[in-house]
Amino acid sequence: MRVLEHPDVEEIRLEAVLHALSDPMRLEVVRFLATTENGAACSEIDLAVSKSTGTHHYRVLREAGVINQVYQGTSKINSLRRADLDELFPGLLDSVVSAATRRPRR
């Protein structure tokens, strides 16, 4: 089975995480995943963008170390790397998720 590349914990950089979070679509993915226990398939998260655009956003999140992606059959299951991020940048993910949850859609 194909395994997707993920950065090791020590390779995760603050700038890259902030960049990955600085997009409304990717914030929406992160906000949604924060509400799940065991992650979600891409198809469960409605981004209202083309498949290739969606794939791009998930890849940016994965390569920055924000999410894990594993194949389950033909679909990818996404989950937040909460433990890694909380260890590296205490409070960051929580503050971003709660700000993203409260923000008005503009």
- CB of residue 94 vs a copy of itself: minimum separation in angstroms? 7
* DSSP type of residue 80: E
Reading the block at residue 95, the tokens are: 């503050």
Closer Cβ to a copy of itself, 47 or 92, answer by number: 92
- Strands 67-72, 75-80: pairing is antiparallel
**Candidate ranges 38-46, 47-55, 69-77, 96-104; the one touching a copy of itself (CB under 8 A):** 96-104
Closer Cβ to a copy of itself, 73 or 91, answer by number: 91
Interaction between residue 14 and a copy of itself (CB under 8 A): yes
Nearest to residue 97, comparing CAs of 31, 47, 39?
31
What gap in Å lies between CA 102 and CA 89, rounded to an integer? 21
Binders of a copy of itself in range 19-58 (CB under 8 A): 19, 21-24, 27
